[in-house]
Amino acid sequence: MPQTSMNQFISNFSSTICGLTTNRTYSNVIFLCIGTDRVTGDSFGPIVGYKLKKFFRGVQNVQIIGDLENTVCNDNIEQTINSICKQYSNPFIISIDSALSKNSDNVGKIIVGKGGIILGSSIRRERYVIGDMYIKGITARDFCNSRKNFSILQNTRLNIVIQMADVVANGIYESIEIIK
């Protein structure tokens, strides 16, 4: 299974964030790490958040919202979005979440892109779009059936999720060190 390498991620992340932030000023950088620790295939975001909190502890203007202790999921996403809007003026939001792919060959890949991420689409729940850029960790195949997708997410191998989370957290830290 081809996974995204650290160098590929750093290159994609660095070029995307630089392209979106050049000649613009933001009050904060917010890493919005979405998912739940109760479903292995959906734990990518909280695991990344847990790791990022260790790297950015005490760093001004960098906020990590969502980790293994305080998850951001479908149950509280609306309150979280409202809280961000009230608390921060002009933040740059990087949304991080698990994703499914119709092609099983994509499992283990990390996708970095511009714009917001659509939350809740794989299990056909109410949808929210949030973020200036996104990072998606493809944890499983999309069967285009919400019941089957939920079952697949519950049975995803934790090793795949941890490996991708390591690449993302370490890659973000390395990228920010390069950018400074």
CATH number at residue 94: 3.40.50.1450
Written as tens digits, the pLDDT of the chain (180 aa) is 568 999 999 999 999 999 999 999 999 999 999 999 999 999 999 999 999 999 999 898 999 999 999 999 988 998 999 999 999 999 999 999 999 999 999 999 999 999 998 876 555 556 678 899 999 999 999 998 889 988 999 999 999 999 999 999 999 999 986 554
Structure tokens at 137: 């960790």
Q: Is residue 1 part of a domain?
A: no
In a domain, 171, yes or no: yes
Residue 24 lies in a domain: yes
Asked if residue 31 belongs to a domain, the reply is yes
CA 108-139-131 angle, to 5 degrees, is 100
Structure tokens belonging to residue 167: 């690449």
Q: CA-to-CA distance for 67 and 83, rounded, in angstroms?
A: 16
In a domain, 40, yes or no: yes
* Residue 26 placed within a domain: yes
In a domain, residue 84? The reply is yes
Stated pTM of the model? 0.93
Domain interval for residue 171? 6-179
Q: Into how many domains does the chain fold?
A: 1
List residues bridging with 98 in a β-sheet: 137
Its sign, for the CA torsion 17, 20, 23, 29, is negative
